[in-house]
């Protein structure tokens, strides 16, 4: 279909040979009165076309009842196409798209055709371009047009959504999406070590799931309906940019690329601006929950273009976890890199929560069995300290292989993927404090120096390992104390980022989507929903400050015990240091200011002067 002169007959006949189907030219079915009008240069009106279209509709039904056909027809208006398909809905529309000037030149060279070139303007005036079917540019050669049509015909049953990358998270999210009823296309590169990834994935799809697999990126893109919605689930960094560059020539204006990995928020902002200039949309989505969460319902943190998010929201919200109120744990976070920023801080909070439990294990393991530690954790998990991380740590304690505890066989070297250090850098940039996160990162770094630690440990004279008592109640209260500090610091980083970058993030709603599906879900996070409805800082709540004040001694007991027995407790130490510092009216920073003024003449303020006055002393 298309205006006169676009090449319908030429392409139709070639396609007829290719597909071994009969060809028909719709112009041959015009009544003589219509042909006479057009020869005289008189445009046809609806009353002229409707009888002709009904004749064609009857013929199309007959052809389809046989084995089908290729038909060349202008079918300029949607109402005309409705008539043509009224007796057969199984029509594949192929729209031959070209500019008026290009077609005008072709028509002027055409001999002995009843449709004159001067009629072309009226055709373009009548043309209603379909937003469905196959669209092909006629600026190509006939052979190129046929090849493109054949490729696109192969993928006429378009998928609604696409996923690139079938790693652990990509596989789980793909199955989750398909389970919700969405037709899906998946792609994974076919390189050494990944030759059978797509094939193996298609074997595990469940009955009823509509999933197509591809190892050719072009075929993957063609398999998606427009606007294309493509979720990238690969390692963050340069690989994301490489995939984006490979996608750009294959995509169309309005298509949406979604990055579901742990990308840095500044990269997300950069990519969004870059793609917007190319007519494409980019959405950065934080996804938390691990393999199980991705499959059964993760917490999802989308940021970027809000209009684009509204298009993909039905998919993301359908696969997300559900909070206690029945609302999906997925909400629009803010523009630019907001989604990836809050996921980054989520991971920083997660680092600290994990390290706190590791330190408690360090405190308990010398005097208690794995079974006893598990029972302590399980008891805590039944109350206000309940969390996903506490639950799984209890499970970890007594898992056995061949009669031995797995935890006792695991090497004490912790890995990391960088998001913890990013959180620390973000706090530096914003001029705020996240010592809990940064200490958790450094604790992992120290653990990595295993050989050095072994060597130095042999040179240390240790006292007799006689343990005095440390009450479980003190550890419990110190744990709650440190977790409050961790959450306060994490949300304070997000609050300042939201103000700095104009993201307008709701801390209460963010807390809500972190109450299920994600790694840091907990009873404390649920409490944060109401806390942040009326306050922007946990320290603004009297009950929080009262609890921390009342439990300073519990933290002190834990730290003293750790010092006496050479147990490193960086997170408990940082929680205590931050709390003492933030609640001390006069700190030692006056010495720092004097030093800076001494060697660099940086000036200082005074307690007996106004805040806008600065002084310098000649110290030597």
Residues known to be catalytic? 343, 350
Best CA proximity match to 152, nearest among 15, 8, 5: 15
Taking the C-alpha atoms of residue 119 and residue 6, their distance in angstroms, rounded to an integer, is 13
Contact 542, 548 (CB under 8 A): no
Which residue in the block uniquely carries the two structure tokens 């797509």? 198
CB atoms within 10 A of CB 84: 22
Query: Angle of helix 570-582 relative to helix 552-564, nearest 10 degrees?
Result: 140
Taking the C-alpha atoms of residue 575 and residue 593, their distance in angstroms, rounded to an integer, is 25
324 — alpha (psi -120 to 50), left (phi > 0) or beta?
Answer: alpha
Best CA proximity match to 102, nearest among 185, 200, 21, 2: 2
Cα-Cα-Cα-Cα dihedral sign, residues 116, 120, 125, 131: positive
Query: Angle of helix 435-448 relative to helix 570-582, nearest 10 degrees?
Result: 160
Query: Six-digit token pair at 225?
Result: 């309906």
CB atoms within 10 A of CB 553: 11
Query: Six-digit token pair at 589?
Result: 């920073």
Taking the C-alpha atoms of residue 487 and residue 348, their distance in angstroms, rounded to an integer, is 10
- Cα distances (angstroms) measured from residue 369 to each of 145, 498, 558: 73, 45, 19
Residues whose CB falls within 8 Å of the CB of residue 2, separated by 6 or more in sequence, listed in order: 8, 74, 95, 96, 97, 98, 138
φ, ψ for residue 375, nearest 5 deg:
-65, -35
**DSSP letter string, 14-66:** HHHHHHT--EEEGGGGS-HHHHHHHHTTPPP-HHHHHHHHHHHHHHHHHHHHH
- The per-type count for the chain, helices as H runs and strands as E runs, is 27, 13
Q: For 389-411, b where at least 16 C-beta lie within 10 A, e where not — what string?
A: bbbebbebbeeeeeeebebeeee
Which residue in the block uniquely carries the two structure tokens 């009326």? 534
């Amino acid at each position: 279909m298309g205006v006169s002169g676009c090449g319908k007959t030429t392409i139709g006949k070639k396609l007829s040979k290719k597909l071994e189907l009969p060809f028909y030219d719709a112009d041959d079915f015009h009544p003589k009165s219509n042909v006479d009008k057009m020869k005289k240069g008189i445009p046809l009106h609806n009353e002229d076309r409707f009888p002709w279209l009904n004749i064609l509709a009857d013929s199309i039904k007959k052809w389809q009842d046989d084995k089908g056909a290729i038909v060349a027809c202008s079918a300029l208006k949607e109402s005309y196409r409705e008539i043509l398909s009224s007796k057969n809905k199984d029509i594949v529309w192929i729209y031959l798209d070209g500019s008026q000037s290009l077609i005008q030149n072709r028509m002027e060279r055409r001999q002995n055709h009843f449709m004159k070139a001067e009629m072309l303007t009226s055709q373009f005036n009548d043309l209603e371009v379909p937003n469905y079917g196959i669209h092909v540019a006629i600026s190509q050669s006939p052979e190129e047009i046929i090849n493109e049509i054949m490729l696109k015909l192969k993928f006429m049953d378009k998928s609604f959504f696409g996923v690139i990358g079938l790693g652990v998270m990509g596989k789980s999210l793909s199955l989750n999406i398909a389970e919700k009823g969405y037709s899906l296309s998946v792609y994974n590169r076919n390189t050494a070590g990944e030759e059978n990834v797509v094939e193996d994935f298609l074997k595990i799809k469940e009955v009823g799931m509509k999933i197509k697999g591809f190892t050719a990126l072009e075929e993957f893109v063609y398999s998606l309906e427009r606007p294309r919605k493509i979720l990238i689930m690969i390692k963050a960094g340069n690989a994301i940019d490489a995939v984006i560059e490979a996608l750009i020539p294959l995509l169309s204006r309005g298509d949406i690329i979604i990055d579901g990995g742990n990308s840095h928020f500044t990269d997300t902002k950069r990519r969004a601006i870059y793609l917007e200039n190319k007519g494409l949309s980019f959405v950065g989505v934080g996804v938390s929950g691990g393999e199980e969460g991705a499959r059964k319902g993760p917490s999802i943190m989308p940021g970027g273009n809000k209009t684009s998010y509204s298009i993909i929201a039905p998919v993301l919200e359908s696969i997300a976890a559900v909070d206690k109120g029945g609302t999906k744990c997925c909400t629009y976070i803010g523009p630019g890199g907001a989604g990836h920023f809050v996921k980054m801080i989520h991971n920083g909070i997660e680092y600290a929560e994990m390290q706190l439990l590791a330190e408690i294990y360090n405190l308990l393991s010398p005097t208690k069995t794995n079974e006893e530690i598990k029972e302590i954790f399980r008891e805590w998990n039944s109350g206000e300290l309940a969390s996903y991380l506490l639950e799984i740590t209890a499970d970890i304690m007594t898992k056995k292989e061949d009669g031995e505890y797995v935890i006792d066989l695991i090497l004490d070297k912790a890995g990391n993927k960088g998001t913890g250090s990013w959180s620390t850098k973000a706090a530096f940039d914003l001029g705020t404090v996240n010592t809990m996160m940064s200490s958790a990162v450094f604790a992992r770094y120290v653990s990595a120096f295993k050989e050095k630690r072994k060597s130095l440990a042999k040179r240390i004279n240790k006292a007799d390992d006689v343990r005095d008592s440390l009450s479980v109640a003190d550890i419990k209260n110190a744990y709650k104390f440190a977790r409050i500090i961790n959450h306060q610091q994490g949300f304070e980083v997000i609050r300042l980022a939201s103000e700095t970058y104009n993201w307008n993030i709701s801390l209460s709603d963010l807390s809500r989507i972190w109450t299920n599906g994600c790694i840091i879900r907990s009873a404390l996070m649920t409490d944060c929903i109401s806390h942040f409805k009326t306050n922007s800082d946990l320290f603004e709540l009297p009950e929080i400050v009262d609890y921390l004040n009342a439990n300073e001694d519990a933290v002190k007991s834990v730290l003293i015990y750790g010092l006496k027995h050479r147990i490193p407790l960086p997170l408990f130490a940082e929680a205590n240091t931050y709390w003492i510092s933030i609640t001390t009216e006069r700190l030692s920073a006056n010495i720092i200011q004097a030093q800076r003024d001494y060697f660099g003449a940086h000036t200082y303020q005074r307690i007996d002067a106004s805040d806008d006055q600065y002084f310098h002393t000649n110290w030597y």
